[in-house]
Amino acid sequence: MSIEILKPGAQTSIQDAGRLGYLNTGLSPAGPLDHLSLRIASLLVGNTLPSPLLAGGPRGDAGLEITFMGPVLRFTEATVFAVAGGTFPLKLDGTDIPMYQAIAARAGQVLDFGMVKDGARGYLAVAGGIAVAPVLGSRSENLFASRGPLGRALKAGDVLPVGPAEGRRAGARFDLAKLPPRLAEPVLRVVMGPQDDLFTDQSLIDFQAQPWTLGTQANRTGLRFKGPVLTFRERPAYLARDAGADPSNIVDDMIPVGGIQCPSGIEAIVMGTENPTVGGFAKIATVISCDIATAGQMRPGQKARFRAVSPQEAVAIARTTAAIASPENLV
């Protein structure tokens, strides 16, 4: 069984839960921006679920992440597939089909995603998973680093092997009432720091009180937001000596996935799953793991707000969100 890529779409890549354990080499984890949607699609077709963002455990069966303009692809044999995430006008051999449902495809049928109507990214799971060879323990493509099974996004003419999936059946549907709401102005929950102490009290207030607008520079590496200009406290002597003159400069340290860099205080850059692993700009806060999905589904021009939660609250939210991809929510 294989999938033939007739048209690749704007950016379509193979993703599983991501590649852990290589930050010391400068290699970020990759994996989907919206882990929950890939987990739900995988659940619908009976695949091994990818673990939540940055969690240990199975990397899961790989699927495809589709950004804005989707691909056109052909199934070479009969199979079962499902799509979750951003809303795409799916057509199978020209006939409209639903998302969040396991669909049977016959050999030779063509699936066309079209242009996303809501959100930014969709996720395709095929029963048996995309069976390319893992690289460093994962099938995820890290497009920023050109590392992974292909080392790039898909292109026309690619043929992707699919693993065995005997006995998988179509018809399972996900209960849409269990999905987190997709708001016109979403709230991105954050844990403050690691360098929030460098910002003035007024900037810490403005960071949460004012809306932020996503710009056109928004990809798997980072999403740039414009909002209030943030200002900094008087610089400690060691930063003035070792880090440079700009008030946002720090001595280079690790950049977490979700870390919000604020170069010169004029923008807030939410780091994605292909983030640079070290950098020299102050990070006012870090978006919690499950809200990376919310940020990844935003469109340029859309506004968001940041809201601080405690580390304990972030862990509880992550556990609740991971449980959404549960067989109990299939109908």
The whole-number average pLDDT for the span 285-305 is: 97
168 pLDDT above the threshold of 90: no
Q: What is the pLDDT of residue 23?
A: 92
Residue 209 shares a structural domain with residue 64: no
64 domain residue, yes or no: yes
166 pLDDT above the threshold of 90: no
Question: Would you give the end-to-end CA distance of the chain in angstroms?
Answer: 28
CATH code for position 252: 2.40.100.10
165-169, 172-176, 179-183, 190-194 — which is least confidently predicted?
Answer: 165-169
Interatomic CA distance for residues 123 and 15, integer angstroms: 9
Residue 284 shares a structural domain with residue 247: yes
Interatomic CA distance for residues 260 and 269, integer angstroms: 5
Residue that is last in its domain, among 148, 174, 200 = 174
235 pLDDT above the threshold of 90: no
182 domain residue, yes or no: no
Residue that is last in its domain, among 140, 174, 208 = 174
Residue 97 shares a structural domain with residue 191: no
Count of domains for the chain: 2
Residue 130 shares a structural domain with residue 214: no
| pLDDT tens for each residue of 61-113 | 999 999 999 999 999 999 999 999 999 999 999 999 999 999 999 999 999 99
Contact (CB, 8 A) for 73 and 81: no
Mean pLDDT, the chain, rounded, equals 97
Q: What is the pTM of this model?
A: 0.96
Contact (CB, 8 A) for 13 and 64: yes
327 domain residue, yes or no: no
Residue 11 shares a structural domain with residue 155: yes
Calculate the CA 311 to chain-centre distance. 21
Interatomic CA distance for residues 230 and 253, integer angstroms: 21
| pLDDT tens for each residue of 3-48 | 999 999 999 999 999 999 999 999 999 999 999 999 999 999 999 9
Residue 101 shares a structural domain with residue 244: no
244 pLDDT above the threshold of 90: no
Radius of gyration of the chain (CA): 20
Residue 237 shares a structural domain with residue 111: no
Give 312's contacts (C-beta < 8 A, 6+ positions apart): none
317 domain residue, yes or no: yes
Dihedral angle, C-alpha 59, 86, 147, 272, nearest 10 °: -90
Residue 163 shares a structural domain with residue 196: no
Going by pLDDT thresholds of 50, 70 and 90, the confidence category of residue 160 is very high
Residue that is last in its domain, among 121, 146, 174 = 174
151 pLDDT above the threshold of 90: yes
Residue 211 shares a structural domain with residue 104: no
Task: Provide the domain limits for residue 202.
Answer: 187-322
Residue 283 shares a structural domain with residue 196: yes
Going by pLDDT thresholds of 50, 70 and 90, the confidence category of residue 236 is confident
